[in-house]
Amino acid sequence: MINYDRRSFFPLKKKINTTDISSLIFQHVLDKKFTNIFEILDLSSLRKLRKNSVIFSNNNLLPSESKNINFLLITDNFKLFKNNTYKNIILVKNLSHVYNLILNAIFIHEDNINDKIKYKSVNDSYLCDQSLIDKSANIGINCVIGRGVIIGKNCIIKNNVVIKNSILGDNVVISDNTTIGSTGFGFNINNMGSKNLSPQLGIVVINDNVHIGSNCTIDRGKIDETIIGQNCMLDNLIHIGHNVIIGKNVCIAAQTGISGSVIIGDNVIIGGQVGMTGHITIGNNVKIAAKSGVTKSIPNNMTVAGFPAVNINEWKRNIIKIKKWK
């Protein structure tokens, strides 16, 4: 498990406490309940509750450690508000809008016009002062290494690579023209426009010995992490959406796209030009044939093909059926 301080990637704009937040969104507040006042320093997700954080939820599935930590819950769920579990809670209308409003007020991020990062030019690449790059790493030409980025031992970053909001382990190779840690594609479909993109305040974690090809895009998590497990091999022109978690020893061929919040197990082999619906889970040792469109979760050890992807033998039978029919 990676430990990091969100603020090293997304600095705070100013000191802000729970009362300030209530004032900031007063137009949207239906009711509120405060037990104590504390400074907001972080952001929590339903996956992980963090100290002195704000968390947004329309249901009550908060993580179990919630009792010992100061957090402010913001919800549009009246039942959640009514029960007496939460010490500090605000009931709002239009939760997704309030999410954007608060997080843009708290955090500096790259989709804010005022996020101007200072770089130093080193060997014809641009490294942010606040990045931490191991001396053994080999950084190519015209790269941009953003604020907070950590790059481990013996990494090879080729040319024209952009790495932001990311932590890389050892022996990671990133090939040319690839973009790591850019904005996830998250917003309310009924309220589009660049200014309505939900702030994406998570990061990308790339574990040891991962190889990533050329012209790929790996988006950072919305609140938590997009994770690529040890020894994964990614080919060119691959898209990995926000919050995706990929296990160890996963091989992904060119031009495949993994939608947001997909979870992939260990030892999975994925062909080229595969697509996946968001929020599904792919088991361990699964094999996915090229050009498959995976629309639902796949259990361990299965081999699938086609669109919608089914057991590969069923897919083959279907092709023969169609051929034979008159």
Minimum gap (Å) between residue 113 Cβ and its own copies: 5
Which residue of 217, 281, 285, 311 would you call a contact of its own copies, by CB under 8 A?
Answer: 217
What stretch of H or E contains 125?
A: strand 125-128
Per the listing, tokens 């900031």 go with 24
Closest contact distance (angstroms) between CB of 64 and its own copies is 34
Asked if residue 198 binds its own copies (CB under 8 A), the reply is: no
Residue 221 touching its own copies (CB under 8 A)? no
Taking CB under 8 A as the binding criterion, the range among 5-13, 48-56, 78-86, 159-167 that sits at the site for its own copies is 159-167
| Residue 39, number of CB atoms within 10 A of its CB | 12
H-run or E-run covering 321: helix 312-324
Q: Is 239 a catalytic residue?
A: no
User: Which 232-271 residues touch its own copies, going by CB under 8 A?
Assistant: 232-233, 235-237, 239, 241, 249, 251, 253-255, 257, 259, 269
Least distance to its own copies from the beta carbon of 67, Å? 39
Asked if 34 touches its own copies (CB under 8 A), the answer is: no
Distance, CA of 62 to CA of 167 (rounded, Å): 27
215 near its own copies (CB under 8 A): yes
Segment 298-317, which members bind its own copies (CB under 8 A)?
307-308, 314
**CA atoms of 219 and 179, how far apart (whole Å):** 8
Per CB under 8 A, which of residues 122..141 are in contact with its own copies?
Answer: 124, 126, 136, 138, 140-141
- Starting from the edge strand earliest in sequence, which strands make up the sheet with 203-206, in order? 132-133, 150-151, 166-168, 203-206, 225-228, 245-246, 263-264, 281-282
Tokens found for residue 321:
């059926």
